[in-house]
Amino acid sequence: MRKHTGGETFRITGARQGLSEDVRGRQRRYVISMAVRTVAVVLTVVLWNIERPVAIATLVLGLVVPYIAVVIANAGRENVPSLPSTFVTTPPRPMLPRGDAEPVPEGQAADASDARSDQN
C-alpha cells in the first residue's frame, strides 16, 4: 500500500476541455455562421425584385455575420468560474502540546490551579 505524502491533490472536475476540442468547437461555430451568411446572400439575390425591404435586411445580415463569426472564432479559451478550484490543499495537522510542560495528575488539577492563583 502506498503512503500518501500529502501535498496538493489534483481535482479532475476542474480541468478545462482539451485544446483540440476547443478548436473543433470554434470551427463548428464559424462554419455555421458562414452557412447563415450564405443563406442570407442567396435570399438577398432572390428577394431583390420581389420584396426589397426583406432583401435589404438579409443583405445587412450577410454583411454583419462575418465580423461576428470572426470575433467569436478568435475569442480566447473559455474560463469556467463556476467549477471549484483545480487544487485542493490538505488541511493543516493539529499542533501537539509542547513537550516541556509538567504533566498534572488528574486528581491534583484543581489543587494546582488554586496553588498558582495564591502565589499571584
Instruction: Please report, for the chain, the start and end positions of each structural domain, with discontinuous segments joined by +.
Output: 18-76
Structure confidence at residue 43 (pLDDT): 93
More confident call, 119 vs 90:
90
C-alpha grid cell for residue 116?
A: 498558582
What is the mean predicted confidence (pLDDT) over 94-105?
A: 66
CA distances, 28 to each of 21, 58, 63, 81, 101 (Å): 10, 22, 20, 24, 70
Structure confidence at residue 81 (pLDDT): 55
pLDDT tens digits for 21-59? 888 888 888 889 899 999 999 999 999 999 999 999 999
- What are the residues whose beta carbons fall under 8 Å from the beta carbon of 34, sequence distance 6 or more? 65, 66, 69
- pTM, rounded to two decimals: 0.50
pLDDT tens digits for 70-81? 888 777 666 655
Structure confidence at residue 69 (pLDDT): 85
Residue 112 clears pLDDT 60, i.e. is over it: no
